[in-house]
Structure 1
Amino acid sequence: MADAVSKLGWDKLRTKSRQSLPDFLTESDDSLPAVLLPHQQAAVAAIDANEVVVIEKSRRIGLTWGVGSSATLYASASRAAGGMDVLYIGYSLDMAREFIDVCAMWAKSYGLAASEVGEALFRDTKADGSSDDILAFRIVFASGFEIMALTSRPRSLRGRQGMVIIDEAAFHDALAEVLKAALALLMWGGKVVIISTHDGDLNPFNLLCEEIRKGQMPYALLKITFDDALAGGLYQRICLVQHKEWTPEVEKQWRDKIIAFYGDAADEELNVIPRHGAGAYVQAALIERAQRGDAPVLRFEREDAWAELADHLQKAEALEWCEEHLLPVLEALPAYDTYAGQDFARTGDLSSLWISQRQQDLSFPCVLLLEMRNIPYEIQKLIVFYVLARLPRFKGGEMDATGNGGYLAEVVAKRWPCVVKRMITVQWYQEITPKFKAEFEKDTLIMPRDVDVYNDHRAIRLVRGVPQIVREDQQAGKGEGKKTRKKRHGDSAIAHMLCWAASQHPEYTNPDYATPASTGLIPAAEAASTRFADPDHSYMPYRSY
């Protein structure tokens, strides 16, 4: 019964939390700021003045909030006053819910007569005559018009009139078809609003923007960068809502933090400069949604000279690091089915070991991400064995066996038969990556909130029709007062894909497999020990290797 109550009550609680303006915006004090910020006002003015408006924008500037105010006014007005239906099309169900929540808040604030937010089934008739129902969200106004929000389907626009809002257009799978259907509504006095962050300079959205700039399309084009929004008071408004004191210094710190989060993607995501080439395969919003986990990201990195140390000194230092940083994490892992994936590198790039667990609700959260840079082969072997030997219910893994990774993958697979040696090929990408992206869309993946993890997953791009990792340098921090360049090529994303792939193939796992410690081959006390007299096996928690 508790689950049913939670499910029924969640939407109401969520809507209630959003359907109200902050207190300071409801007070009648002339000294208080306008409800809409300048960039939001500019968007509303452009919608009023033009049939077609294209807005290329930064992320995190609250534009949906401003556009929702305009949509609510149009849907609530009478036909004589220019009222019309509003059809919002996002690329995910969460976007549709959020937009409807925003419009419901505006309707309540305006004091408009409108129905409660409700779910509706939209009949989608396909070209072959068959049909299925799409979940949509709707608000009906006393004017007779409505706001309906649903996911991207070109056919959903057939037979409808009014305003069409296409949000995050660059990330729609069939943008050209959606635009074609939307622009047909202009014949009967409709409006089309196309909003998006960029996703590569070859994306249809950017090509549309370029056509407008060249004068080839008679549409209005509005560009809003992150700094434009800040100059208009975005962070001051955030401080006002959160009851914080605003100062220029605090705003700069906040701006620097946001830019640091996006890393090399900041130009595209915040400065509205499309990246050269095809766009990212997994949408930024999906990656951000998945980055809600608190799994530790541990990094073991050493200088070149460290590789020249005596073997026993390297092992002793590596073991000390493992016991200080890894052991507490591994001992705290819950008893769920556990999977591993590793992308290997010795120099230049880094080795990334991704550990995830399949939980009761079928989600697949990362529980540990370990990255090793400039670490000798034998020490990488020591650390990987240290981790895998302590994983609860370890069911399987996949390890990059391409090039130098073949050695480590081989010795691990020999010790753990449930680990597969995987060659990373175009064919592998073609088979795995679309399914991997679908897991983001289903919201089953949970990742650590880390800028390198974000950038690695954004490095999955379409290359000649195949989604794969695109190698490129990325900024990776600062050292000794100056920026240092450290190469990444989607390392954690490859490890994540390998880990997820291991969880999808039952033939790769052995449900009867158990570590020697769990079968009673050695005493529990000895199994827990990490040091033995034999230096070659001091990293193993048991002798039966």
Structure 2
Amino acid sequence: MAESDVLKAAGEAPRKGAPAAVAATMAMTAAAAGVTDRPTRDQWISVRSQQGRATAVGWRETAPLLAYQSAIAVACECYDVVVVEKSRRTGATWGAAADAVLRSASARNIGGMDTLYMGTSHDMAKEFIDAAANWARLFEHVCSEIGETIFDDGSENGVKALKIDFASGFSIVALSSKPRSLRGRQGFAILDEAAFVDNLAELIKAAMAFLIWGGKVLIISTHNGVDNPFNQLITDIRAGRLRYGLIRFDLDDALKDGLFERICLMNAHKHGEWTPAKEADWREELIGKYGSGADEELYCVPSQGSGAWLSGPLIEARMVDAPVLRLSFPDSFNLEPENRRRAEVDRWIEEELRPVMLATLDTNLMTGFGMDVGRLRDLSVMCPMQITRLMRRVVPFLVELSKVPFQQQEQIRDAIVRGLPRFIGGRTDATGIGASLAESGMQKFGPQMVEVKFSTEWYRVEMPPVKAAFEDDVIAVPRDAEVAADLRAFKVIKGIACLPDLRVASSAGGTRHGDAGMAIVLAYSATRNPVEAYGYQSARAGADEARPGRRNMRPVDEVRDAMMPGRHDGLW
């Protein structure tokens, strides 16, 4: 059967066209994107009775693809990157397998290329490769039998994969998802159930390299929560920030295109002849089985119950215009003499940091401090936090450090803390590599600069008040995309909000592990448990003046000086 005939028969334009196909595909997406009440059983019977059958007689030969399945192939021809937002088990992978065969069986001069399919399990890889083999037989393309191979993913032993070779010289390879598996590859990348992979952001970043030499990327998934990177990707496409193709079909769209009709044809022993009433009953039963999960699983509506600690809209609602200072050095900076490193950072402090501190800090407000420590892989983030007279916590600015040596991190931290008005204490990450910086902070600024070793109990106690602050609108954080992403990185695991062991790429190089979010949490903890700052006017000023080096210092400052030996500017 001719390739173009397959797509024409499915109600779409041929692979090698056409603007009309793009319009039809995008119209389908736009129409489906509206949220409406689902039809009742009786309403569904009426809708489908008026529409009639979507499956033609002799569909195996004339129209093996349903319209929404064919739309995937059309969109992939018109866009380099296509995202499919779908209902569960509607056959999107079946449609993608057809397109994979058409591409990998074609010669290079007409767009042929290898296909690399990545699902979340070996079973998904097996299902895809079986579908591809069926399409190859239908299209009468010469190909090898399905075989197992060891795919070189850069690891020592490689990874087991399934493979079909075509006479064109190209192959379809199916395996489970690991970002490194895409490195150095070229062709058509298919990422299936992308919302459920371990690190979607890294996987997509690796897949984008396919585009350089004319490859394609197809991302398919049901939803897995509103804060999942897959939903963030779709949001960016709809907002016009990403010029990718987007196709959306829910259960009702698939049924109108003939999904249950095909189910009846393939399982006649169970369902018998298709009728609108049978379809309506089957639809109602399916929705009932999914219960509260039906919106997400069947109707492409991402849930809030994905384990996210703070929702994206809530985080954005608490964001204000405040600077985020970012400093990064090349690896060679660590080899510079200490005096040069110190001089370079002193210059940055004077030219970049100090003007921001003078412009943003309210000298009348008490101020806490939090620091999440990183070095090579993760960022170090320093977060001052001021308490307004209405008890609102405000982050006046943030400092993010990437690949900054520990000595220079200490240099910057000291400049910040010594410049904070009415300093009431701080919290420093003392877990792992942060232990040394946390210890030096306590030694310089006294016991109120607490060394924090993260534990389940610490998260249990400290996280709920921070969430309450977001919900009650008594916290303000800088409006910054990466800060928002760090706050979204917290997940509720076994009932406790914490950071899972998952990292994403940082714009400064290296990775992020909720770093800004953790610094904000630490600063909030410091403001909840402060050392009280009291104003005091001594009745015996003369006695103080007689003490060398203590001129005009109040008794409260003497106590402070003992607690914070590295600081001599008082509390006020």
- What is the TM-score when the length of structure 2 is the normalising length? 0.44
Q: Which has the larger radius of gyration?
A: 2
- Decide which structure has greater strand share: 1
